[in-house]
Structure 1
Amino acid sequence: MAEKAAGGGVQSVERVFELLELITDAGGEVSLSELSSSTDLPLPTIHRLLRTLVAKGYARQLPNRRYALGPRLIRLGEGANKQLGALARPQLKNLVDSLGETSNMAVLDSDMVIYIAQVPSPHSMRMFTEVGRRAHTHDTGVGKAILAQLSNDAVRSIVGRAGMPTPTDRSLKNIDELLAELELIRERGYSVDEQEQELGVRCFAMAVPDAPTPSAISVSGPVSRVDERFAEKAVPLLREAVQSIAAELNLKA
């Protein structure tokens, strides 16, 4: 019979998810000793749970004996992303109807962001970002909005593993610049991609509060249309949208 956890759940299930989250937080790969130092679980329990996860394909042991996330999680993640994107799509459409520019939703996936939903602008000249595309966090509006929800240590770890390429001459070039930018984002509540991903394109983004996985939505378009006047209208609408998505997520929980 499975042990009951303090909150009424099943203890062994809670422990499995704790291990998976620890592996994820470590960048998708971790040693047994690193897991042991990050949790109060006894080492034999960790080893037993990992063996089960490996056997089921939800974890894998690498040749160097470290443990990584397994391929069966991909299908679960893709399904969850589709559901989250479908849930957010009405809010993205409202943004496009009100602002006339492309709206996207992205989530943090390991050390990158992945776009999971989009409603395109009706304009012929617009920003194109394919659903399923992965991008760095430091040079995208959604990425910076997500990073601003994390601790500086977590940001350093993500950027240390993913690197900081500079697609344009406006891209942030080092961790100090990024941390200063994130502090500004925390103060004002939204991020701006100031032609950092693509010259001629500006993006305003905002994180979804209390989302089960770090998430953000954005509106993007040519700098000729997406200007300060646009921001005055877009920021309150983004705030309404993320609050509506957060409320919907809480109802589904």
Structure 2
Amino acid sequence: MRAQDGPTLITSVQRAFRLLEAVSGHVNGAPAKQLAREAELPLATAYHLLRTLVHDGYLRKLDDGGFVLGDKVQALRTTSREQALLSRVRPVLAALRDELATAAYLTFYEEGEIRVAEIVDGPRAPRADLWVGFEDAGHATALGKCILRELDDDARRDYLSRHLLADLTPRTVTSSPELLRRIDASPVAPAVTDLEEYALGTVCVAAPVYSGDILGSLGVSMPAARACRMAEVLARLIPTADRVTRGLSLTM
């Protein structure tokens, strides 16, 4: 690498950031000449960087020739906000893990799928062997069944129509009507349990949480031999889920 390559690359990045900052000040878009002037860049340099940023999705060129922030910048904003929200509740999940000596899991129902947002485990609280992804095992996990319990009938039908109820263990319920009957009749409602339905030797329990209007679930897993502690776990889990909802619902 030549000596000037490093500084030249850094300078290009700095110029690109200056253009992004200039574009962010114009909600309805601004033309290249105006952006070059505001970013204090030669017009030719601005044109080159603008084309690159448009190509990579960080900017979008409007029909009138103006430039606005692109989808990638919006995605970065969303990711940043989500990480900031999660940072608020990680200490709560860690406290739950330490008190119960169980791994703690946080999931959300987004775009029709159950996705893991956070797992807090440790040497004394190892996570379950996630041998099947949560997207394909919502019917067999406490976290997934908890979300299904909270969904309305149409959303339930939609989810179940798109997911095979695979037989993961001899205890897995693979009939949709029976699964919904058991979920609705959960003896620990609003929580739901998984008694070795996802993995033999492991039991889980989960309670619903919300991040604004986004549904999720907070759960813990433990060896089946500790299922006798379920009442103690529930007494701690349900108020913790309420606390997580409050933390996730605070305005950023």
Indicate the residue corresponding to 1:68 in structure 2: none
Indicate the residue corresponding to 1:216 in structure 2: 217
Give yes or no for contact 2:89–2:248 (8 Å, CA) kept in 1.
no
Amino acid at match of 2:239: E
1:249 and 2:242 are equivalent in the alignment = no
How far the C-alpha of 1:220 sits from its partner, in A, is 0.2
- Flag the 1:76–1:199 CA change in 2: closer, same or farther, 3 A: farther
- Flag the 1:81–1:151 CA change in 2: closer, same or farther, 3 A: same
- Flag the 1:84–1:113 CA change in 2: closer, same or farther, 3 A: farther
1:203 and 2:181 are equivalent in the alignment = no
- SS of the residue 1:147 aligns to: helix
- SS of the residue 2:150 aligns to: coil
Query: Can you give the 5+ residue segments of structure 2 that lack an aligned partner in the other structure?
Result: 1-58, 61-70
Amino acid at match of 2:234: V
- SS of the residue 2:225 aligns to: coil
Indicate the residue corresponding to 2:141 in structure 1: 140
Give yes or no for contact 2:106–2:118 (8 Å, CA) kept in 1.
yes
- Flag the 1:77–1:139 CA change in 2: closer, same or farther, 3 A: farther
Indicate the residue corresponding to 1:235 in structure 2: 234
With normalisation by structure 2, the TM-score equals 0.63
- SS of the residue 1:204 aligns to: strand
Once the two structures are superposed, what CA deviation does each residue of 1:142-197 show, in whole Å capped at 9, x if it has no partner? 11111111112211111101221221121111110111022123872101011111
Query: Can you give the 5+ residue segments of structure 1 that lack an aligned partner in the other structure?
Result: 1-54, 57-70
How far the C-alpha of 1:111 sits from its partner, in A, is 3.2
Give yes or no for contact 1:145–1:185 (8 Å, CA) kept in 2.
no
Q: For the aligned residues, what is the CA RMSD?
A: 2.9
The percent identity for this pair of structures is 23
Superposition pairs of residues 35-54 of structure 1, within 5 angstroms: none
Give yes or no for contact 1:89–1:118 (8 Å, CA) kept in 2.
no
Indicate the residue corresponding to 2:181 in structure 1: 180
- Flag the 1:93–1:198 CA change in 2: closer, same or farther, 3 A: same
- SS of the residue 1:221 aligns to: strand
1:171 and 2:165 are equivalent in the alignment = no
Superposition pairs of residues 9-158 of structure 1, within 5 angstroms: 78-123=79-124, 126-129=127-130, 134-158=135-159
Give yes or no for contact 1:164–1:173 (8 Å, CA) kept in 2.
yes
Amino acid at match of 2:248: L
Supply the distance in 1 between the matched residues of 2:172 and 2:111 (Cα, whole angstroms): 21
Give yes or no for contact 1:113–1:134 (8 Å, CA) kept in 2.
yes
- Flag the 1:251–1:210 CA change in 2: closer, same or farther, 3 A: closer
- SS of the residue 1:234 aligns to: helix
- SS of the residue 1:122 aligns to: coil
- SS of the residue 1:247 aligns to: helix
Once the two structures are superposed, what CA deviation does each residue of 1:180-234 show, in whole Å capped at 9, x if it has no partner? 0221238721010111111111001001157431111111011112x13x21111
- Flag the 1:168–1:76 CA change in 2: closer, same or farther, 3 A: farther
Highest CA radius of gyration, 1 or 2? Answer: 2
- Flag the 1:161–1:134 CA change in 2: closer, same or farther, 3 A: closer
Supply the distance in 2 between the matched residues of 1:185 and 1:211 (Cα, whole angstroms): 25
- SS of the residue 1:104 aligns to: strand
Amino acid at match of 1:236: A
With normalisation by structure 1, the TM-score equals 0.63
Supply the distance in 2 between the matched residues of 1:136 and 1:203 (Cα, whole angstroms): 13
- Flag the 1:77–1:129 CA change in 2: closer, same or farther, 3 A: farther
